[in-house]
Amino acid sequence: MSSGAAVPVRRLETITGQSVEVPASTGRTHLQFRRFAGCPICHLHLRSFADRHPEVSDAGITEVVFFHSPVEELRGYHTLLPFAVIADPDRVHYREFGVETGLRAVADPRSWWAAMRGGTAMLHRNDPDRAGVTLGDGSTHLGLPADFLIDPDGTVVAVHYGRYADDQWSVAELLNIQRSLGSSR
């Protein structure tokens, strides 16, 4: 999927049983395609989005995060996140958006430092942030991340397909993209 593509509106069920409309009817929607539920890189990345959620929300962006893990593996830590989390164990949405898997996800040395930092953070924290976070859930560790920013009319306005496991938009990059695009329709 590329910029300019059209995404049809759909209602999805979050891991907490709530409904979320994608794309949101106002502002822009940031879709994040993450790896597996216990991914240490994803854990670290999502903590940064959770910590800065008010900034993202104030910029008019609705966060929706997909995992290719079953809902049972995402309950716990992921239910504490301040944005919608969607379980997609059959990778239906991953295929629709062209989000791939590949050995390069973990073979690229740029992922190793983030994996070590994320793994260390998960092991040394004794708080609810790591409740339910495990080393794996049986889904592939070879998933690649992807980011999509979508206008309310379904037009994809920005896309990033990760080339390795730690190749995704940071909060600062997302906010810069949002500023550069101006207000949504």
Q: Which amino acid is located at 10 in the chain?
A: R
Give residue-wise pLDDT tens across range 122-174. Answer: 444 443 444 344 444 444 555 788 999 999 999 999 999 998 888 899 999 99
Q: CA-CA distance, 74 to 70, in Å (whole number)?
A: 7
Q: How many CA atoms lie within 13 A of 57 on its CB side?
A: 9
Length, in residues, of the chain: 185
Residues 6+ apart with CB under 8 A from 63: 30, 32, 49, 53, 56, 57, 83, 84
Give residue-wise pLDDT tens across range 76-96. Answer: 778 889 999 999 999 999 999
Q: Which residue has the higher pLDDT, 76 or 107?
A: 76
pLDDT value at 121 more than 70: no
What pLDDT was estimated at residue 12?
98
Handedness of CA 106, 53, 37, 76 (dihedral sign): positive
* Domains annotated on the chain, with CATH: 10-180 (3.40.30.10)
Locate tokens 């989000």: which residue? 99
Residues 6+ apart with CB under 8 A from 159: 1, 2, 3, 146, 147, 148, 149
Q: Which residue has the higher pLDDT, 42 or 82?
A: 82
What pLDDT was estimated at residue 75?
83
- The token pair that represents 109 in the structure block: 């040395």
pTM over 0.85? The answer is no
Give the largest CA-CA distance in the chain: 44
Q: Which amino acid is located at 154 in the chain?
A: G
**Is the Cβ–Cβ distance between 26 and 152 less than 8 Å?**
yes
Q: CA-CA distance, 146 to 163, in Å (whole number)?
A: 9
Q: Which residue has the higher pLDDT, 75 or 32?
A: 32
What pLDDT was estimated at residue 142?
59
